[in-house]
């Protein structure tokens, strides 16, 4: 390419698969794409604070090496700084404790290894809330990530850095993870595609489990096909992984070419927790339900019902025990224990809560979580797809919610439930669930609509998403802060 601006145009006009096709044809090089990605991050990050760590030298070296024929050959990529092991990058979970005492690993986890094999070239970590337990991204260590549609507003969490980076054009796709909405909520806030896969769909090796199957990972992207191709890359467990689902015989990318058979679709705008849903969000859900009817599918209203309070209390206590275990293991590994000075008050309160849960109580919570998952599945069993809001409200101001500086574990999680009521049920139940940018508010903010399928049925979600991407296109919608020339 003759100029940096023309290369920037190419970079912004293509999704990840499109960029990889250009690299494999020899039209552009991986090194050229990496320089553009670095330029955009350096231009926009002072405003958005989406990227918390950079590894430019390593990325430039890898971009100069032979790229191969992977599906994402030569595409710049950002990892999420939460439980991600990537050689040469210090994972901090946005915690002062890990920043001070952990070191960069010498090897990749299984997912990162697969990403690199597919041709993705990581060049940094995206920002997260400390230890990932927030639906906004405002860690004390790194400062808040801002929404490119309105920088006074949150980009969501915990994959807020990823959502902001993808929406603003820094990268076409970025890693995300989801234990209570942390892919889907930032996708909705930032106007991107965000799929939470089924429990066991993507390998988490060498880890054996995250949150008793509640936490999974995938990506945030701008197109359905990029998400499908990324799922192809990371799906399939290693031998012995709990919950592992077999890799499908047909690729997710190829199923996009075939529309699904007539589906039974339920839809709801009633929060199972009872909080009011913003009327603009409700209208967006009704619009999508109507569009599915126009596309030939059976659509009917249906409210999801289960013991949400009991399930949430059990799930959050389980996560508190997991936090206590995590930092006990980190203390053994690093030789230094965390203190209230090296952790934010909420994280410290979660550890203390986890230590107070006894063995019988923990077993009871796991049983309650599993029965909650069964009730959620039974409530939706009549439907192939369930359509709902992602969030009860539009993007909200930074500093207005999820205050991790207050160490009241119970009060924090009581407030949390209001915003995860449409989200965490599918972490507990294990269903695949996708946020699509199918609405826009009167103030020009994106509205995500959530579609959920039965466990293992990502293909149906992706087929429907592909149809909606054509009939209700979102590609032309750009935020205020975007990588223009």
Determine contact, residues 202/228, Cβ cutoff 8 Å. no
Instruction: Enter the DSSP assignment of 222.
Output: S
Q: For the full predicted model, state whether its pTM sits above 0.95.
A: yes
Instruction: Enter the DSSP assignment of 472.
Output: S
Q: Is 375 left (phi over 0), alpha (psi -120 to 50) or beta?
A: alpha
Query: What integer pLDDT is reported at residue 1 of this predicted model?
Result: 46
Strand partners, 118: none
Q: In this structure, how many other beta carbons lie within 10 angstroms of the beta carbon of residue 107?
A: 11
Report which of 271, 318, 221, 204 is spatially closest to residue 425, judged by C-alpha positions.
Answer: 271
Active site residues: 80, 158, 182
Give the strand pairing for 264-267 and 298-301: parallel
Residues 60, 116: Cα–Cα separation, whole Å: 14
Q: What are phi and psi of 54, to 5 degrees?
A: -125, 145
Query: What integer pLDDT is reported at residue 3 of this predicted model?
Result: 64
Instruction: Kindly report, residue by residue over 163-174, the tens digit of the pLDDT.
Output: 999 999 999 999
Kind plus residue range of the DSSP H or E element containing 470: helix 458-471
Estimate to the nearest angstrom the gap between the alpha carbon of 156 and the chain centroid.
Answer: 10
- 7-471: CATH topology is Amidase signature (AS) enzymes (3.90.1300)
Q: Can you read off the two tokens belonging to residue 95? A: 């915690």
Say how many Å lie between the first and final Cα of the chain, rounded: 15
With a cut of 50, which residues of the chain have pLDDT below it?
Answer: 1-2
């Amino acid at each position: 390419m003759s100029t940096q601006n023309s290369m920037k145009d190419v970079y912004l006009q293509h999704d990840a698969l499109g960029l990889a096709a250009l690299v494999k044809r020899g039209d552009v090089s991986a090194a050229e794409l990496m320089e553009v990605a670095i330029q955009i991050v350096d231009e926009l990050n002072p405003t958005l604070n989406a990227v918390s760590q950079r590894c430019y030298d390593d990325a430039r070296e890898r971009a100069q090496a032979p790229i191969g024929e992977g599906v994402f050959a030569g595409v710049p990529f950002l990892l999420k700084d939460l439980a991600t092991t990537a050689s040469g990058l210090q994972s901090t979970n946005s915690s002062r404790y890990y920043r001070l005492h952990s070191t960069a690993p010498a090897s990749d986890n299984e997912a990162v290894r697969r990403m690199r094999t597919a041709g993705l070239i990581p060049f940094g970590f995206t920002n997260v809330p400390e230890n990932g337990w927030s639906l906004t991204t405002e860690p004390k260590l790194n400062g808040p990530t801002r929404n490119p549609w309105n920088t006074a507003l949150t980009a969501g969490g915990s994959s807020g850095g990823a959502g902001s980076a993808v929406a603003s054009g820094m990268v076409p796709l970025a890693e995300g993870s989801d234990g209570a909405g942390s892919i889907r909520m930032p996708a909705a806030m930032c106007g991107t595609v965000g799929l939470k896969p089924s429990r066991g769909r993507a390998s988490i090796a060498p880890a054996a489990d995250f949150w008793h199957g509640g936490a999974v990972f995938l990506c945030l992207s701008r197109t359905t096909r990029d998400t499908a191709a990324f799922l192809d890359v990371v799906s399939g467990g290693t031998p012995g992984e709990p919950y592992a689902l077999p890799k499908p015989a047909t690729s997710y990318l190829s199923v996009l070419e075939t529309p699904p058979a007539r589906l039974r679709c339920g839809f709801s705008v009633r929060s199972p927790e009872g909080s009011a849903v913003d009327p603009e969000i409700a209208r967006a859900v009704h619009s999508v339900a109507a569009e599915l009817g126009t596309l030939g599918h059976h659509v009917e209203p249906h409210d999801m019902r289960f013991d949400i309070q009991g399930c949430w209390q059990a799930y959050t206590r389980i996560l508190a025990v997991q936090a206590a275990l995590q930092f006990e293991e980190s203390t053994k590994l690093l030789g230094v224990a965390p203190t209230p000075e090296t952790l934010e008050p909420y994280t410290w309160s979660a550890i203390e809560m986890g230590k107070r849960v006894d063995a019988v109580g923990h077993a009871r919570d796991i049983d309650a979580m599993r029965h909650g998952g069964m009730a959620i599945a039974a409530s939706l069993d009549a439907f192939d797809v369930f359509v709902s809001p992602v969030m009860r409200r539009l993007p909200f101001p930074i500093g207005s919610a999820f205050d991790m500086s207050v160490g009241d574990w119970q009060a924090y999680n009581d407030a949390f439930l209001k915003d995860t009521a449409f989200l965490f049920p599918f972490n507990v139940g294990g269903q695949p669930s996708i946020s699509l940018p199918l609405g826009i508010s009167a103030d020009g903010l994106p509205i995500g609509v959530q579609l959920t399928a039965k466990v293992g049925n990502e293909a149906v979600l992706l087929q429907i998403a592909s149809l909606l991407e054509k009939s209700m296109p979102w590609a032309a919608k750009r935020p205020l802060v975007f990588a223009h020339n």
